[in-house]
Structure 1
Amino acid sequence: MIHHYELRVYYQDTDAGGIVYHANYLAFAERARAEALRALGAPHTQLVAEHGVMFVVHRVNLHYQRPARLDEVIRIETEITKVGGATVTINQHFWRDSDSLVVLEVALGCARLGDGRPARIPADWARRLKSEKGQT
């Protein structure tokens, strides 16, 4: 499944030239990932409350292709590409109409809330994430 999330670029998201400030793409991507998990019936707050673990960004590979500008509507496509014992890899693609703007590969690690140490993804969550990407 590819989850679609749209947002409008506001003045606060841009630099003095009206172009989205580079670090804001990470915030946009975070919102889109949270909504993708929510659409799976797996909101992050539930993972924390039921299992005492959370997903943390372990690695980001980000490729800027074209700038987004003030007042444009951009679409972020989020797709789970790999689920491991304690990690999830997600690809996110930013679009303005048919123009590719930014591509991210994000590695999330599952960590214990109490001490931040790595933890296995709870079995029920791993099943949901794997079924979403067609992995068994």
Structure 2
Amino acid sequence: MSAVFRFPIRVYYEDTDASGVAYHAGYLRWFERARTEWLRALGLQQDGLHRQHGVVFTVAHLDIAYRRPARLDQLLEVHTRVAAMRRASLMFEQTLVDGDAETLLARAMVKVGCVDAVQFRPIALPQALFDAVARWTPADQ
């Protein structure tokens, strides 16, 4: 099991429907932001990997289970961990929890593929990313 990266989120008016509940697609934005900030915490950036290695990342598979609603002005936290790492993909487990009570609101498994930026064909993760993820992941995984 890898280390957990925690990213705070606040539910804003723009995130909600007329009832003050977060719209379901907004969760995907929050999960994306958390993965981007996780990468930044590793000392890497998506645009840098694109420029230096000619790769981009694409969501190849997404499975999400909504458990409880997120509500207007609620402080939440996205927990992100690498569930599996392959040569050309990463599988993330992400959970959205209430920032105070740690009540589970949603859980997602997200497979992100590394692809060549020109042809959009699978390509090995850049070594810098592979090494950074390996350092982030405890040896028992």
- Check conservation: 1:81, 1:133, Cα contact below 8 A: no
Q: Corresponding residue for 1:126?
A: 130
- Whole-Å Cα distance in 2 between the matches of residues 44 and 82 of structure 1? 19
Per-residue deviation, 1:117: 1.1
Q: Corresponding residue for 1:27?
A: 29
- Check conservation: 1:91, 1:103, Cα contact below 8 A: yes
Structure 1 outlier segments of 4+, above 3 Å: none
- Check conservation: 1:58, 1:108, Cα contact below 8 A: yes
Per-residue deviation, 1:9: 0.5
Q: Corresponding residue for 1:107?
A: 111
Deviations 1:3-30 (A, max 9, x none): 1111110111011111000011001100
Letter in 1 for 2:128: D
Q: Corresponding residue for 1:65?
A: 67
Matched, 1:88 2:90: yes
- Whole-Å Cα distance in 1 between the matches of residues 82 and 44 of structure 2? 13
- Whole-Å Cα distance in 1 between the matches of residues 92 and 134 of structure 2? 12
Deviations 1:65-94 (A, max 9, x none): 000000101000111121101010111111
1:41-56 correspondence runs (5 A) = 41-56=43-58
- Check conservation: 1:109, 1:118, Cα contact below 8 A: yes
Question: Secondary structure, in 3 states, of the residue corresponding to 2:38?
Answer: helix
Per-residue deviation, 1:132: 1.2
- Whole-Å Cα distance in 1 between the matches of residues 89 and 4 of structure 2? 19
Per-residue deviation, 1:124: 2.2
- Check conservation: 1:82, 1:88, Cα contact below 8 A: yes
Question: Secondary structure, in 3 states, of the residue corresponding to 1:126?
Answer: helix
RMSD of aligned Cα (Å): 1.2
Q: How many residues were matched structurally?
A: 136
- Whole-Å Cα distance in 2 between the matches of residues 55 and 67 of structure 1? 29
Q: Corresponding residue for 2:6?
A: 4
Percent identity between the aligned chains?
35
Q: Corresponding residue for 1:40?
A: 42
Letter in 2 for 1:132: W
The answer for unaligned runs of 5 or more in structure 2 is: none
